[in-house]
Amino acid sequence: MIAREPVSFAVTSSGSTACQPTQPLRELLQGYDRAMRAAAAAPWFVPVAASRLRICRFRLWRPTFLLHFFVVQHIARHTRELERAYRRRAAITGDRDLVRTEQQLLEDFRESLPPVPSRRLLLILAFIAILALTRIFGLLWSNPASSFDTRENRLLQNIEDSVLSLNVHSNAFDAIATTPWKATVALLSIALLSAYLTFRPVWAPFRLKRLLMSLAADDNLSVKAGVMSDAATRSDGLYKLETSVLAEARARERQEFPYDLMVSGLIVVLWAGLAVYETATGHYLLNAIVLGLALLRLAWIVRAGIARGRIVHPKGRLQRA
C-alpha cells in the first residue's frame, strides 16, 4: 500500500480548480539545476575518493568528459515522463487548469536544457569502434600460417559483412555454425576485450553522474566530497526525491541503464570465459581460482544493480506499509 502526499488545490478567477505546484517538484528542478551547473563547471579531471574503507581512501583523478552528457540525458528523460503524466491527468480529468502550473514549469525547464549529442549516435560510434578494435586485435594476434587463425579471421570477415549488409541471419549465424567452437570463443574474447576498451572511458563519468545526483539535493554541492563506491550501490539525494515526485504524478519511472556495471561485467565475463577455455590445457586449480573470483565479482555487480533500485523514500512523501 502506497500513501501519497495530498495535492493542494485553489480556485482561480475563472472559477476552475487549479493545482498549486508541489514543493517537491520545485526542489527536484532546483536539484537538477545544481547538478547541471556542477557538471558544466567540472574540470577535465576531478579527484574523488575510491572507497570509505581506510585502505582505499586515496583519491584518484577521474575524467569528466561525458559527465555533462549523462546528467542532461537523465534530466531530459525524467522531465519528459513527468510532463506526459501531467498531460495524461489533465486529459482524464478534463480540466487543463488542474496541472497547468506543473506543466508550464516542466516545459520551461526542459526547453532550457542545453543540447547534447544523441545517445543513438554515440552508440553507433561505439559499435564501429568495437568492430575496428576487434579487427586490429585479430590482425595483431593472428598467424597467417595457422589454419586456426585463418578460420577466426574468416569468421570475423563474415560477421562484418553481414552487419554492414544488414543480412545478419543468413551470413553471421551460418558462419558461426560452420566454424570450430575454439575459433568462435577466441573471436568472442577479442570482441569482449574490444567492447571493454571502448566503453571503459564511460565508467568514471557515469559513476560521477550518479554521485552528482546523490549529492545535488544539498545546496553545498561538491563532487570531491563524495565517494565513488557509494554511487555504485546507493541511490540517495535526487534519486529519492525523483521517485517521490514521479509516484505523486503517477508517472512511469524509467530505470537508468547501468553503464558502469555493464563495463565491469564485460571484463568479468572475459575472465570467466578465458578460465573455462584454458581448462582444456590443464592448470585446473589456477583456472578454478580465476573462475571463482570472476563469479564472486559478477555476483557483486548483480547485487549492486539490485541495491540501486531499493530507494528508501523520504518519510511523509512516499511510504510503503
Q: pLDDT by residue (tens digit) across 92-115?
A: 887 777 788 888 899 999 999 999
Quote the pLDDT of residue 9.
Answer: 37
Quote the pLDDT of residue 16.
Answer: 42
Give the mean model confidence (pLDDT) for residues 83-99. Answer: 84
pLDDT over threshold 50, residue 2: no
C-alpha 146/C-alpha 135 separation (Å) is 17
Banded pLDDT at 155 (limits 50, 70, 90): low
Instruction: Compare 280 and 9 and report the one with higher pLDDT.
Output: 280
pLDDT over threshold 80, residue 66: yes
Q: Rounded to two decimals, what is the model's pTM?
A: 0.80
